Structure 1
Amino acid sequence: MGSLLRTEAQERAALIDVTGYDLALDLDQGEETFGSDVTIGFTCREPGASTFLDVDAESVTSITLNGEPVDPASVQDRRVNLAGLATDNTVRVVAQMRYRQDGEGLHRAVDPEDGKHYVYGMAFLDAGPSIFACFDQPDLKAPYDVRVRAPQDWVVAGNGAVERTGPGQWTLATTPPLATYFVTVCAGPYAVETDEHDGIPLGIYVRASLGDRLREQRDDIFEVTKQSFDYYHQLFGIRYPWGKYDQFFVPEFNAGAMENPGCVTLRDTYVFRGAHTRTQLFTRANTIAHEMAHMWFGDLVTMQWWDDLWLNESFAEYMAHRTTAEATRYDEAWVDFGITRKTWGYGVDRSPSTHPIAGAPAPDAESALTNFDGISYAKGASALRQLAAYVGDEAFLSGVRKHLSDHRFGNATMTDFLGAVEDASGRSLVDWTQGWLRSSGVDDIRLDVEQRDGTITRAELVVTPPQDDPVTRSHVLDLAAVEGGVATGTVRLHAASARTEVPELVGTPRAALLLPNSSDLTWATTVLDEQSLAAVQDALVAAPDPLIRLSIWSALLGGADTGRIDPRRVVQIFGVCWPHETVSSLSDVLGGLVRAFYPYRLVPQHDSAAALATIRDAGRRKLELVDGASPAALAAARLVAATTSDAELLARWAADEGRPTAASGDKDFGWAVVRRSASMGHLDGAQIDRVASADSSMSGHLSELRARAALPTESAKAWAWNQLYGESKLSNYEGLAVAEGFFDGYGENDATELLRGYADRFFAELPEVPQRYGDMAAEKFVIAAFPHRVIEPAVADAARTAIASPDNTAGVRRSLTDALDRLDRALLAHQRFGATASTPVATEG
């Protein structure tokens, strides 16, 4: 039996209502399995009918329905049939479940630093039945009573408030109605920090080995948590409904975080073990605000079926950036959204795998996961931002409050939400919905002007929809005339047709730069005329408004991504302007994007060494401009470390000699240096051993794997390949670390032929990846392990063959499609701009 079909879920929901779960978990049975004993009460509208229960057990001890035994052997394909139902029913399933290492179900991780074990539950999307037998679909919500037995030195928490009732015995308070995919239990020797705000008990948990770091960072985490609570209480008009609020920073987590009511789980890399930048702090704050938004939108009101999963994530994405911008010290939140989240989303929306924000078919639960991407998050949040601008912010918020109030502790659909906004605003959203939610692709926007003697005589904003989905989409946006970096005039437009006149510009001097979408308010590719394009470099250095700078960079990145702008030009502009960028998110993320996607990818091979040197030199110049102890110096040093080929510099930095003060003593920075040295062939496995012996942490272990996989030798690649696909049993994080290092450094050493030989082997091994690493981790693995540095048509052909193969899962095919699109864009750039080398190769000295 495959994934739960929507039709099956509808039939089951029409037949039964679940009245409650009573769950006992025994986590004190060893390292491989745990006990699960669940009793479920439910009613049936048609006595005598049958339904099914979802069970994914290692072994089933017993099943009883209304006191009568059901043969445990009847469990097939994760289901057991329940026949002859009464009006009121009780089913009990006692089973042994297996701990998982793929970040799903009940995941058990071992901290190599101290050997301690940690457990956390991740029931999303369909992993709940591997923890307890259940009716696993989002619209069969019910209250939960949970008891846990665990080793006596562990702490235990979950959705409800917890009470220790005896040695190793824990009882959790009855919850309000929850969807199965929100149920979690976290257990282990976690370090904990507690606080209270507005009557809400607060807890933060992390591995014991990170306890000192948590104590240093607790105040910042609690501050953002409290600020977010205050903002949401004011905004929604509904108090937080889940009692206490725990945040567990857990190891080997696939996502950024998961919004389990009352017990949020987050990846533990958000508790920084060393030096960190403001961008990293913002990302953590934004994630905290995102998950808290879900406590209302997603948890209090839950989607009816997985095809509305986008609305949960779009709403939380939008609210998180709004909250951090307005309620915390991170007033640059919308700048970060533009360069980080929207850049990700644009890449997806320009690719063959694009899909409408809403209305994408989800005939089964698994297919919904394939659309869990930059469209669901970044484009959906942009659409909601547009909706607020379209109907007015107060009408938008009134609709949100009505939606939350009307469907409290229940389920709802997109139609319910939009209906509430229509009622509040008095405006029809039929056309808006069709344009924004039920169509796909990115519109191009440009300003068409005529001028005489330097004065504009005609100005129109031109909107061109994508050829594959040419729907009319309205845009609320700003347009700025920029001279000397300063916006000398800004116009707010509502562009509801292909051409919109801009009379405010007529009769004004033609500015050096005419910039549509100057506040980055809408979702579109900005196409600059040649006169404006010629002015962007000066504007990026001089513009005081970070949204102006963001919008320029968005136009440049989008132009290179679509083959309109030579990627070498983007690198040249980066080299001049990046050292002067002062907003950390824009600086840090942009540095990572240009480094990752330009040399040896978008930039042709014969110009890539020069491009890499330009990026490196930008990092060096920034180090000269900023305080060496500042987070900006750390970001610049990271860029230099990732791009330099200077073996002597890398050796000094690896030995913690001559580093900028901000990176001094930082082990993670040291590992970045080691990884770069390894990929360049400047060190060997024995030298990596020596570094690893001084860092036994989980982070150190993963960094060691990346560095070993990056070594450009036949033996190192053979070892890494065997780790990924041989007999080794890697966790989801370990597999991802090896995959990330495998193709590192291609084109910068003599490993070209060696790596090319592994490209075909990568595609042949793909069907095994989900079985090894789990469905969620597999999609990340495919992107990381894709031979992205081998920019050749043969690799693209092999990817297309793999995408067409039924042997690969839908999630793997989706990740392949996105990776192939990146490769195709690189091939297009090489075709258009790669005929001759255009810049000399810089040298280090």
Structure 2
Amino acid sequence: MRSLTLAEARERSSLITITSYAVELDLDQGAEVFGSHTTARFTCAEPGAETWVDLKAHSVETVSLNGEPIDPDRVSDGRLALSGLAADNELVVAATMAYSHDGQGLHRATDPADDLDYVYGHLFLDAAPSVFACFDQPDLKAPYDVTVRAPLDWTVIGNGAATRTAPGTWVLATTKPLATYFVTVCAGPYVSVRDEHDGIPLGIHARASLREPLERHAAELFDVTKRSFDYFHGLFGIRYPFGEYHQVFVPEFNAGAMENPGCVTFRDQYLYRGAATRDELLTRANTVSHEMSHMWFGDIVTMRWWDDLWLNESFAEYMSHRALVDATEYTDAWVDSSIVRKVWGYGAERSPSTHPVAGVEALDAQSALQNFDGISYAKGAATLRQLIAYVGDDPFIAGVRAYLTDKSYGNGTLADFLGAIETASGKDLEAWSRAWLLTADRDTLSVDLEEQGGVVESAVVRRESPADRPADRPHAFDVAGWTDGREVARASVTVTGPETTLAGLEGTPEPAVVVPNASDLTWARVRLSDSTVAALPSQLAQVPDAQARAVVWSALIDGVHGATVSPDTFLDVFDASWPHESNSSILTRVAAYAEHRVVPWFVPRPAQDDALDRLNRAGSGLLERSGAGTTESLAAARLVAGTSDDAVLLRAWADGHGLPAGLEEDGDFRWIVVRNLASRGLVGADEIEAFRAKDDTLQGSLNALMCRASLPEADAKAWAWQQLTGREGRSNYEMIHLARGFWAAPDDDLVADYVSRYFTDVPAMSGWVGEDALSRVVLVAFPKVFTDETARLSARAISRDDLTPAVRRSLVDADAELREALASRATFGAAV
């Protein structure tokens, strides 16, 4: 279906104003379809003019405009033309809609644990017309009255407080003006935990089979929720205006969460069934705070058009980390950002698809989705930190308050936001925004030291701007140095040119390790000196500053991807430093990166077994000396479970024998072991099914699919490929898990024939899979056969003119990662 263009959106918003929506949903019509009845009231600035309403229905029963019937067959390509508009209009549409299974629209999922069905709405971007007739663009906001008919044993939750007015009938309170993409309804036999804070009713909800983890994690979730409310109330000076605040953990969710006012939806993997590391709890707390900050920035004030969507996400990314550090126990949230979010963002910046943070005009709605990436989130947040360094924190918050107050329940633009900051700070931001927001790519920061007799004689920071995307970005950051665990130097600096003298380092002892951007205050490629890299195996574990250690690991990862750091060097540092790491985020994320990216992508196949053995030895050593049930023990056990080739150990763990303390009943941990066994051919499909029967849940079924796809057998690969790329009715999550397992193989020959098939079969799935879900499948399913032939086929596929925007963008990004792997192997393969 055609995507709304910016020109069309501007024309329609200049013509009409939406007064209200009344939406009635009948969710008691079976598992495939639901009834949708919409009454939309709107005014028209030019009576007699024409426009259209967006409608993506299974069937349309009746339509009337101002009491006059309209032929339902006039719906074409997701649009229903409306002509002869009056000054005041009432549009009534009765339709039947189809549930989705790809995480977009009104998604319906069956929990195999009890065969109960759950529904949730994810109307992001352009999915709202598949739920109700609407004028689907972010600047046409209106209040909603929603009524839901549902099976008698279902609970209904939505943007407004839900009241059961009769058996199976629920009425939701009238909302504040909302953009169409914020509307949601969650319905099913959800279980709930409720509380209240500062006059705000709170609810947390999940599938019935997740009652135990829901109740176990409720106190922590409520604590973060309450602390975030208090923090944002104080910071923004505006009380939360959307009534009740519900957080619903829903199945098969495409993203981490969605900031629907009053009814935030989360992926239900955040309700950890088994053991959770501290950084996993931090990640969840960050997501809770992130979505709450959107209640102000995004929900009270919404961007006018999708090309300013980055501002919502950058703001929430920054504010959630700030709130965790200032108001919760997770005071190391910025360390987590360095090793998780910024590593993701730097990857997006390395790709040919890199783009400026702002100023990329999205000519249609689907184009906007392509820039919804680590640049919009992580780089945007880092840019806001630099903006604060430039204007000051107090003027920044004053500007934010003014922007939110002035634009409440309406729409804003980047120009509006920057104008508010300029007024509050008295500083002109034109040059700053041109360099930081309107120019893609990043600078490279490095430090050159000259020493005499072990004392620093001169120190210079070098800032290199990309030659093909030059910019004059000011950077405020610090440089620090350590020797044998002792900080011997630290200096703050604002860099405004190619070279800046670091007078603060002159006369200090020469450090063994020098870290530019040690507190990770700016966005840049950090180039470590050769002497620092050489010293890391003996020095990094002794550096007491977790933030600086995260910056070093991020720089090493960046270097591996850029073929400036060999994977062997990375593994040398891992061997020496990782077993002594005390920060949970660094510990777990670096281990996962080593196992799932560095070894399989950058280490040549003949050397991969030895590399995995190095990881296994590191994990085993840490496991032996870690306290039972600690993050260290869990991280080490997971690494051993994924890398060990000890069939006796793996089979014992899979059967529940000799497990590390705290993992005796952990089904998710068992699946790590089973996947390892499956990929080595040490279990078969029947045994995988037996393990699934022990974990007869949604997550257990997904893991079983991944393990079956991992089996090193031709028949297993053929089956998995058909399930993945055929019209087999698989959900978005099922496709992702099949893709995760498929390319596991003892050698490339087993899956070589599927490389060319990928470039035809997967793009063709756009005929029945939504763009959001398919973009993820394209990335995960991209061939893990790292050859020049794969690169040739990939380049040819990207040049096709029939790809959807989401497929093309994901192919470009996956192709870039393939070429990074090829470049690294070509540079360092012989050494490894």
What TM-score do the two structures reach when normalised by structure 1? 0.97
Q: Distance in 2 between matches of 1:352 and 1:485?
A: 39
Q: Is the Cα–Cα contact under 8 Å of residues 488 and 509 in structure 2 kept in the other structure?
A: no
Residue 768 of structure 2 aligns to a residue whose secondary structure is: helix
Give per-residue Cα distances to partners, 1:301-359, cap 9 Å, x unaligned: 00000000000111111111111111111111000000000001101101111000101
Residue 254 of structure 2 aligns to a residue whose secondary structure is: coil
Q: Is the Cα–Cα contact under 8 Å of residues 485 and 538 in structure 1 kept in the other structure?
A: no
Instruction: Report the residue type matching 2:570 in the other structure.
Output: V
The aligned runs of 1:472-511 (5 Å cut-off) are 472-511=472-511
State the match for 2:786 in structure 1: 791
State the match for 1:218 in structure 2: 218
2:828 paired residue among 826, 829, 833: 833
Residue 186 of structure 2 aligns to a residue whose secondary structure is: strand
Q: Distance in 1 between matches of 2:629 and 2:364?
A: 52
State the match for 2:760 in structure 1: 764
**How far apart are residue 536 of structure 1 and its match?**
2.0
Q: Is the Cα–Cα contact under 8 Å of residues 602 and 821 in structure 2 kept in the other structure?
A: yes
State the match for 1:735 in structure 2: 735
- Contiguous gaps of at least 5 residues in structure 2: none
State the match for 1:183 in structure 2: 183
Q: Is the Cα–Cα contact under 8 Å of residues 766 and 808 in structure 1 kept in the other structure?
A: no
Give per-residue Cα distances to partners, 1:227-255, cap 9 Å, x unaligned: 11011001111000101000010001001
1:755 paired residue among 731, 751, 758: 751
Q: Is the Cα–Cα contact under 8 Å of residues 706 and 742 in structure 1 kept in the other structure?
A: yes
1:204 aligns with 2:199: no
State the match for 2:470 in structure 1: 470
Q: Distance in 1 between matches of 2:389 and 2:253?
A: 36
**CA, structure 1 residues 316+84, in 2 after alignment: closer, same or farther (shift >3 Å)?**
same
State the match for 1:566 in structure 2: 566
Q: Distance in 2 between matches of 1:768 and 1:248?
A: 33
Q: Distance in 1 between matches of 2:718 and 2:387?
A: 52
Q: Distance in 2 between matches of 1:662 and 1:577?
A: 25
Give per-residue Cα distances to partners, 1:375-420, cap 9 Å, x unaligned: 1111111111111122111111111111111101110001111111
1:70 aligns with 2:65: no
> Segments of 4+ in structure 1 off by > 4 A?
none
State the match for 1:150 in structure 2: 150
Give per-residue Cα distances to partners, 1:92-131, cap 9 Å, x unaligned: 1110001110101111110011010101111111000000
**How far apart are residue 467 of structure 1 and its match?**
2.5
Percent of pairs with identical residues: 51
**How far apart are residue 538 of structure 1 and its match?**
2.8
Instruction: Report the residue type matching 1:372 in the other structure.
Output: F
Q: Is the Cα–Cα contact under 8 Å of residues 489 and 511 in structure 2 kept in the other structure?
A: no
Instruction: Report the residue type matching 1:712 in the other structure.
Output: P
Q: Is the Cα–Cα contact under 8 Å of residues 692 and 700 in structure 2 kept in the other structure?
A: yes
State the match for 1:677 in structure 2: 677
Q: Distance in 1 between matches of 2:399 and 2:727?
A: 55
Q: Distance in 2 between matches of 1:772 and 1:707?
A: 25
Q: Distance in 2 between matches of 1:539 and 1:289?
A: 36
1:82 aligns with 2:82: yes
State the match for 1:25 in structure 2: 25
The aligned runs of 1:153-164 (5 Å cut-off) are 153-164=153-164
State the match for 1:841 in structure 2: none
**How far apart are residue 805 of structure 1 and its match?**
1.2
Q: Indicate the larger mover: 465-474 or 574-583.
A: 465-474
Q: Is the Cα–Cα contact under 8 Å of residues 579 and 619 in structure 1 kept in the other structure?
A: yes
Residue 264 of structure 1 aligns to a residue whose secondary structure is: strand
Q: Is the Cα–Cα contact under 8 Å of residues 349 and 375 in structure 1 kept in the other structure?
A: yes
State the match for 1:807 in structure 2: 802
1:816 paired residue among 811, 820, 823: 811
State the match for 1:289 in structure 2: 289
Instruction: Report the residue type matching 1:626 in the other structure.
Output: S
Q: Distance in 2 between matches of 1:26 and 1:172?
A: 14
Q: Distance in 1 between matches of 2:820 and 2:112?
A: 41
Residue 662 of structure 1 aligns to a residue whose secondary structure is: coil
Residue 345 of structure 2 aligns to a residue whose secondary structure is: helix
**How far apart are residue 453 of structure 1 and its match?**
2.6
State the match for 1:714 in structure 2: 714
**CA, structure 1 residues 539+394, in 2 after alignment: closer, same or farther (shift >3 Å)?**
farther
State the match for 2:418 in structure 1: 418
Q: Is the Cα–Cα contact under 8 Å of residues 4 and 364 in structure 1 kept in the other structure?
A: yes
- Contiguous gaps of at least 5 residues in structure 1: 838-845
Q: Is the Cα–Cα contact under 8 Å of residues 184 and 260 in structure 2 kept in the other structure?
A: yes
Instruction: Report the residue type matching 1:740 in the other structure.
Output: R
Q: Is the Cα–Cα contact under 8 Å of residues 798 and 811 in structure 2 kept in the other structure?
A: yes
Q: Is the Cα–Cα contact under 8 Å of residues 616 and 644 in structure 2 kept in the other structure?
A: yes
**How far apart are residue 836 of structure 1 and its match?**
4.4
Q: Is the Cα–Cα contact under 8 Å of residues 735 and 773 in structure 1 kept in the other structure?
A: no
State the match for 1:404 in structure 2: 404
Residue 76 of structure 2 aligns to a residue whose secondary structure is: coil
Q: Indicate the larger mover: 557-566 or 68-77.
A: 557-566
Residue 751 of structure 2 aligns to a residue whose secondary structure is: helix
Instruction: Report the residue type matching 1:27 in the other structure.
Output: L
Residue 722 of structure 1 aligns to a residue whose secondary structure is: helix
Q: Distance in 2 between matches of 1:727 and 1:552?
A: 46
Q: Is the Cα–Cα contact under 8 Å of residues 638 and 672 in structure 1 kept in the other structure?
A: yes
Q: Distance in 2 between matches of 1:458 and 1:540?
A: 24
Q: Distance in 2 between matches of 1:675 and 1:819?
A: 24
Q: Distance in 2 between matches of 1:665 and 1:173?
A: 42
Q: Is the Cα–Cα contact under 8 Å of residues 156 and 186 in structure 1 kept in the other structure?
A: yes
State the match for 2:390 in structure 1: 390
Instruction: Report the residue type matching 2:748 in the other structure.
Output: T
Q: Is the Cα–Cα contact under 8 Å of residues 108 and 118 in structure 2 kept in the other structure?
A: yes
Residue 181 of structure 1 aligns to a residue whose secondary structure is: helix
Q: Is the Cα–Cα contact under 8 Å of residues 38 and 92 in structure 1 kept in the other structure?
A: yes
Instruction: Report the residue type matching 1:830 in the other structure.
Output: R
Q: Is the Cα–Cα contact under 8 Å of residues 339 and 586 in structure 1 kept in the other structure?
A: yes
Q: Distance in 1 between matches of 2:831 and 2:668?
A: 39
**How far apart are residue 291 of structure 1 and its match?**
0.4
Kindly report the root-mean-square deviation, in angstroms, between the aligned alpha carbons of the 2 structures. Answer: 1.1
Q: Distance in 2 between matches of 1:691 and 1:461?
A: 56
State the match for 2:547 in structure 1: 547
State the match for 1:843 in structure 2: none
**CA, structure 1 residues 201+741, in 2 after alignment: closer, same or farther (shift >3 Å)?**
same
Q: Is the Cα–Cα contact under 8 Å of residues 489 and 509 in structure 2 kept in the other structure?
A: no
Q: Is the Cα–Cα contact under 8 Å of residues 579 and 625 in structure 1 kept in the other structure?
A: no
Residue 791 of structure 1 aligns to a residue whose secondary structure is: coil
1:526 aligns with 2:521: no
State the match for 2:43 in structure 1: 43
Instruction: Report the residue type matching 1:796 in the other structure.
Output: A
Q: Distance in 1 between matches of 2:684 and 2:357?
A: 48
Q: Distance in 1 between matches of 2:414 and 2:373?
A: 18
1:308 aligns with 2:308: yes
The aligned runs of 1:307-706 (5 Å cut-off) are 307-706=307-706
State the match for 2:243 in structure 1: 243
Instruction: Report the residue type matching 1:757 in the other structure.
Output: D
Give per-residue Cα distances to partners, 1:796-840, cap 9 Å, x unaligned: 111111111122211111111111111111111111111244xxx
Give per-residue Cα distances to partners, 1:4-39, cap 9 Å, x unaligned: 000000000000100000111111111111111011
Q: Distance in 2 between matches of 1:313 and 1:444?
A: 25
2:778 paired residue among 779, 782, 787: 782
Give per-residue Cα distances to partners, 1:580-615, cap 9 Å, x unaligned: 111111110111111111113112233322221111
Q: Distance in 1 between matches of 2:660 and 2:326?
A: 33
Q: Distance in 2 between matches of 1:282 and 1:421?
A: 30
Give per-residue Cα distances to partners, 1:472-525, cap 9 Å, x unaligned: 111110111222223222111111111111112223332212211011111111
